[in-house]
Amino acid sequence: MSERPAETDPRRSSAGSTADATARVAADGSRLDAVVAIALSDLRQRSRSPKYLAVALLVAYLAQSVTAGDVQLFVAGDYTGVPTAEWFGGFAAVVATTLLVLGGFSLVRGPLARDRAEGIAPLVATSPVGDATYLVGRWLGYVAVLAAVTAALALATVAGFALHGTGPLSLWDLVGPFALLTLPTMALVAAVAVCFEAVAPLARTLGTAVYVFGALLVVSLVSVAPVPVFDLLGIAVVRDSMLADLPVDVSGLDRLTFRIAPPTEAARFTYHGIDWGVVELGSRLPILAAAALSLGVATLAFDRLGAAPGLSGPVSRVPNPLARDRDDAPTEATDAVATDRPDGADDPATTTVDRLDRLDPGTPRLLDPRVVLAELRLGLRGHRRLWYVAVVAALGAQIAAPLGTVRGLVAPLALLLPLAIWSGLGVRERRHRTEALVFTAPRPAGQTVAVWLGGVAVGLLAVAGYVARLGIAGETAALGALLAGLAAAPALALAAGAWLGSARAFDTAYLLAWYLGPLQAVAPLDFVGATSAAPARTAAYAALAVGCLAVAVLGRRRP
């Protein structure tokens, strides 16, 4: 395996792009030019990332599902619309807005942290570009990315209507809801992403967790509110316009019955689209105001000269239970090179070669148990005290609580604790710039397997009490489901980090699956068997673990 050449490293290219962007506007000092240049540099960097190919595939799949009838929207319980342009536009816009609210944050977040990691922040700090200008430029770049995804969804919806729709092709009815409902919400998502990157406790995994749970809460509330004050998803606008076209008196109907479900037989009605008036357009103003407020908070929080993003003063001292204590976390590599060489010792290069020649020939060719133990120690060391207290409390609750409570609540909650370790499995080398050292070591495949086994061991430790009780009770099916899920999670983290170069995609996917599966009883996402332990699902997660591990090995071997 060879070291990645610096000239093709997308991170360094992006760092240079940011520096060039600020340099180009230094002469005239135009704020607008600076904002646009920073946004364009962000777009150029993102165009090199392979993860946006996956986004394009997801866009195509979503549009196909909505327009081909794989899922249906039901209004007032038993009614669904004739597949006209108006119906497709409103339906697809609500689905797209919901999914982008949940996933868009992780899709765009990262350039602020990248600038700091690559040493570009000091260059920006000494340029004439102010904090507000720099952050607005970043926000505009985020908005542009989300707007591009929104435009792709709109175009895919148009194509889907041409294939599966009925009636005349009305471009405004198909695209208008995306422009007036989805785009303002994307402006808010982008602003929140900038804000979270600027506030130190929210800059990494904890911020992703806070955002995902907050987004799920907001989505749940606005979905059931009769008259939502903050119509983030545009549900109220679309729902009320659909209820107005129902062929029955809606005064006595439950206005909350607005659901997406698998297709079934239902009465159909003709939907005539949204009548865009003052009320409908005015419902977007609170969202734009919230975006402006988030950018204002980000400007106050942003410390361009600091070593890490965040507020100075009390907020910077807020403990992050998912963060590592860097001062107390010496690595195995640090321990290995910290010994002094005695006087008269041989040249270091000669000594190193001699030691390599004297490696124990009995060492396993694929997997060294010492590496697995080192990975386990590395995962368990350096956390804040609150994390260790939470692990001990979770283990005590797993032993003392009734088994049903442990299965449905205690064990799922305990599985939030390994996220602090799993999140970084695939990106540690990139984050700490040790790729040239790690990826040229012997037995790279065995090294990846050792990292995975270390992650599995951490997960087993978090639910050790539950595992023991399942074994004592003889519930082998539930135990198998739990072990398959614990194997799949770190394997997915490794694969996502190796190919996407970021932990955010895994963080978001894991938190959504954790909430919808074990807690909300969505069977396909119940990766730990909290509600049921179907053998087919256990086998599927075991296969996912093997597949993701193989993909991770290939990704980490890339030149």
pLDDT of 9: 47
Instruction: Return d(Cα 236, Cα 41) in angstroms, integer.
Output: 37
Distances (CA, A) of 349 to 336, 346, 353, 355, 442: 16, 8, 6, 10, 18
Query: For the segment 406-432, what is each residue's pLDDT rounded down to a tens digit?
Result: 998 899 999 999 988 898 888 877 777
**Banded pLDDT at 304 (limits 50, 70, 90):** low
The domain segmentation of the chain, as residue ranges, is 54-109+130-308, 332-353+364-556
- Under a CB-based contact definition with an 8 Å cutoff, are residues 39 and 137 in contact? yes
Backbone dihedral angles phi then psi of residue 301, each to the nearest 5 degrees: -80, -25
Across the range 445-455, mean pLDDT stands at 86
> What is the reported pLDDT for 285?
93
Higher pLDDT, 281 or 363: 281
φ/ψ of 258, rounded to 5, equals: -135, 95
The model's pLDDT over 144-158, given as tens digits with 9 standing for 90+, comes to: 999 999 998 899 899
Share of the chain above pLDDT 70, in %: 73
Distance in angstroms between the alpha carbons of the first and the last residue of the chain: 6
**Both tokens of residue 276?**
């865009």
Give the integer Cα–Cα distance in Å for 500 and 506. 10
- The confidence score (pLDDT) of residue 262 equals 65
Average pLDDT over residues 307-324: 46
Tell me what the mean pLDDT of segment 251-266 comes to. 61
Residue 328 has pLDDT above 50, yes or no: no
pLDDT at 43: 83
Confidence of residue 117 (pLDDT cuts 50, 70, 90): low
Closest-CA residue to 446 (of 355, 520, 375): 375
Between 354 and 276, residue with greater pLDDT: 276
Mean pLDDT, residues 339-352: 41
Alpha carbon 284 to chain centroid, angstroms? 26
Selection from 167, 110, 199 nearest residue 427 by Cα: 110
The Cα angle at residue 251 between residues 249 and 254, in degrees rounded to 5: 105
Q: What is the pLDDT of residue 558?
A: 57
Residue 13 has pLDDT above 90, yes or no: no
> Residue 189 corresponds to which amino acid?
V
**HEC assignment per residue over 371-396:** HHHHHHHHHHCCECHHHHHHHHHHHH
Question: What crossing angle do the helices spanning 85-108 and 504-514 adopt, rounded to 10°?
Answer: 120
Q: Which of these, 309, 115, 108, 116, lies nearest to 190 by C-alpha position?
A: 108
Between 384 and 337, name the one with better pLDDT. 384
Looking at residue 85, its pLDDT comes to 92
Q: What is the mean predicted confidence (pLDDT) over 292-298?
A: 93
Greater model confidence, 495 or 351: 495
Average pLDDT of span 424-446: 73
pLDDT of amino acid 11: 45
pLDDT of residue 332: 40
Phi, psi dihedral angles at 83 (to 5 degrees): -70, 65
- DSSP β-ladder status, 79-81 and 267-269: parallel
Q: CA triplet 273, 58, 138: central angle to 5 degrees? A: 85
pLDDT tens digit sequence for 19-73: 455 555 444 457 788 888 888 888 887 777 766 666 767 777 777 777 776 677 7
pLDDT of residue 289: 95
According to DSSP, the β-strands at 79-81 and 258-261 are unpaired
pLDDT digit string, tens, across residues 484-519: 999 999 999 998 888 877 777 888 889 888 888 888
Measured CA distances, 149 to 70, 97, 156, 217, 225 (Å):
21, 11, 10, 24, 28
Neighbours of 477 (CB within 10 A): 15
pTM of the model: 0.71
What number of other Cβ atoms are within 10 A of residue 390's Cβ? 19
Please count the CA atoms within 13 angstroms of the CA of 208 that sit on its side-chain side: 26
Q: Which comes out higher in pLDDT, residue 525 or 457?
A: 457
Q: Tokens 């195509």 label which residue?
A: 60
What's the pLDDT at 295?
93
Query: What gap in Å lies between CA 172 and CA 159, rounded to an integer?
Result: 14
Out of 74-78, 172-176, 306-310, 338-342, give the one with best mean pLDDT. Answer: 172-176
Q: Is the model's pLDDT at 540 over the cut of 70?
A: yes
Between 170-184, 308-322, 536-550, the lowest mean confidence (pLDDT) is in 308-322
